[in-house]
A and B are shown apart, each in its own frame.
Chain A
């Protein structure tokens, strides 16, 4: 719907400026990723030169990728599968428990002394505020006592804890935005809350579930400090593969760029493929 400001603002030279801004922004956003990609395809000595067009300026090679998989293939596969396992598990777990709690906060009325729903929601928000570095050492001791150090379960528990507050709040917002009438009809018909949630509400909230799940997945995939402290061999994740690239043999751009791409590509590709949901998820809760 065109409004007067839009009509007023549309002038010829503007289209050009807008185009310029668009191109500049796209370049700004994509350049680092592109650079990593291009560097990974260069011969080692070529990486020190400012060329950036494969085939036109330099002959691309898959050698670096092959080398990485040949020399560190086992570690790469191990870290990729660990990341996948932990990210998926913690996302699903956070989504599940968070949805339950979010639904409860959205539909029911709680009162424990002076504490009401809104306060409980604030309490969840306060959990997001805690910097990981504050709890990482007690977490380590806690996990060690439980025998969960360097295990998938241990890291999953840590990541779920990290994702749970946000998942709860996002799902609460989603449920608040879904009209109650549909549920009430089902309840009147004798369905239990459980059935209502499972059969009626969750399908309606599917886009939000997807976006929250993806956010949780990405946070877990990219998480570094818990992974750094709580694992060292069996349950290491991709970010640790990156951190270990330092001090190996120097500024091996070609080597680092392969690892950086291995870390970046999965969540980025995932995000790009479902960006519609992601955008919705990010803007939920920020816009009433």
Chain B
């Protein structure tokens, strides 16, 4: 059939593109990860030495922990707030349309611009948040200078940017939810919270997990926010993995080691996604 040739003509440009521009760099990065190449010595093969070092590197562990916490916190908060907002605004009350329109704005901000905006907002002496805290008589928060709260600043910025995403997705999800189970539950005398927990949530589970998947992929790559706002500090309290890899590669120029770190990173991300993807498939099959 005609289709046989045409279908490859349609698919191959994309596949070819990705093979050239992604697979090739990935392969190169892989070969680099087995070499030692820095500014004092030319490239030479060292086998798995870089990987062994990566697995034992306390700063790598720290970066993993920081990134993990960041991902968990942002995904959780955004999901919860997004869902709550969607619940409130999915009826046709006035303002929900305006909100839907306006809420798109944060999603299109550039993270690096947001980081710089954050520098202004979180400024401990003269920023608006500091002023607000002072006005309310609340104790001063050392957003950017306290290791305990610096990561919080990054999380806040990410939440500001991405809660709208969860909101919109859940909004669409709620619209698509079948009403029969809910009505049945109400007829059976279930209270509001019970309806929510036992009927609505399970129906929305596929949507939720897909949102988690998408947000996980996005959050785990976080770079711009950390680079722009804190540079990984104070100390290494906000040194997310992408930032640490960038530091090893393009600041210290330990190119081989940075590549090995990259691959460890990649493997972990793919593992995480696979786990989530399997859950999504199972939930879709159930639903």
A-B Cβ contacts below 8 A, count = 287
A270 at interface by CB-CB < 8 Å: yes
27 residue pairs bridging A and B, Cβ less than 8 Å apart: A15-B93, A21-B88, A26-B102, A29-B164, A33-B105, A50-B128, A98-B14, A127-B22, A128-B217, A129-B266, A131-B220, A131-B266, A132-B221, A138-B26, A164-B14, A222-B110, A224-B112, A251-B120, A251-B123, A260-B120, A263-B113, A268-B105, A270-B108, A271-B107, A275-B101, A278-B107, A283-B171
Residues of A within 8 A of B221 (CB): 131-133
Q: Which of A18, A139, A264, A271 makes the CB contact (< 8 A) with B110?
A: A264
Query: Number of contacting residues on B, CB 8 A?
Result: 99
**Across the interface, do B113 and A272 meet the contact criterion of CB distance under 8 Å?**
no
Q: A36-B117, A161-B18, A251-B123 are in contact. Are A105 and B11 (CB under 8 A)?
A: yes
B1-17 CB mask vs A (1 if < 8 Å, else 0) is 01100111011011101
B69 at interface by CB-CB < 8 Å: no
Identify the stretch in B49-57, B71-79, B147-155, B242-250 within 8 Å (CB) of chain A at 4 or more residues: B242-250
Which A-chain residue is minimally distant from B16 (CB atoms)? A97
Q: Which residues of B contact A (CB under 8 A)?
A: 2-3, 6-8, 10-11, 13-15, 17-18, 21-22, 24-26, 28-29, 32, 85, 88-89, 91, 93, 95-96, 98-114, 116-117, 119-121, 123, 125-126, 128, 131, 135, 160, 164-165, 168-169, 171-173, 176, 179, 182-183, 186, 192, 195, 206-207, 210-211, 214, 217, 220-221, 223-224, 227-228, 242, 245-246, 249-250, 255, 258-259, 262-263, 265-266, 269-270, 273, 277, 284
Nearest 8 pairs of A and B residues by beta carbon = A101-B14, A222-B110, A50-B131, A138-B25, A283-B172, A104-B10, A108-B7, A134-B262
Chain A interface bracket (under 10, 10 to 19, 20 to 34, 35 or more): 35 or more
Identify the interface centre among A31, A104, A278: most chain B CB within 10 Å of its CB. A104
Q: Which residues of A contact B (CB under 8 A)?
A: 3-6, 8-9, 15, 18-19, 21-22, 25-26, 28-33, 35-36, 39, 47-50, 52, 97-98, 100-101, 103-105, 107-108, 110, 120, 122, 124-139, 141-142, 157-158, 160-161, 164-165, 168, 192-194, 218, 221-222, 224-225, 229, 238-239, 242-243, 245-246, 251, 253, 256-257, 259-260, 263-264, 267-268, 270-272, 275, 278-279, 282-283, 285-288
Is the contact region of chain A dominated by helix, strand, or loop, or is it mixed? helix
**Across the interface, do A272 and B105 meet the contact criterion of CB distance under 8 Å?**
yes
Residues of A within 8 A of B109 (CB): 222, 264, 267-268
Q: How far is the CA of A257 from the CA of B3 in the complex (A)?
A: 55
Which A-chain residue is minimally distant from B196 (CB atoms)? A5
**Across the interface, do A224 and B224 meet the contact criterion of CB distance under 8 Å?**
yes
Shortest beta-carbon distance from B138 to chain A in Å: 14
Residues of A within 8 A of B96 (CB): 22
Q: How far is the CA of A101 from the CA of B89 in the complex (A)?
A: 37
Shortest beta-carbon distance from A192 to chain B in Å: 7
Residues of B within 8 A of A222 (CB): 108-113
Residues of A within 8 A of B249 (CB): 133, 137
**Across the interface, do B18 and A271 meet the contact criterion of CB distance under 8 Å?**
no
Q: How far is the CA of A282 from the CA of B119 in the complex (A)?
A: 29
**Across the interface, do A286 and B13 meet the contact criterion of CB distance under 8 Å?**
no
Residues of B within 8 A of A242 (CB): 110, 112-113, 116, 228
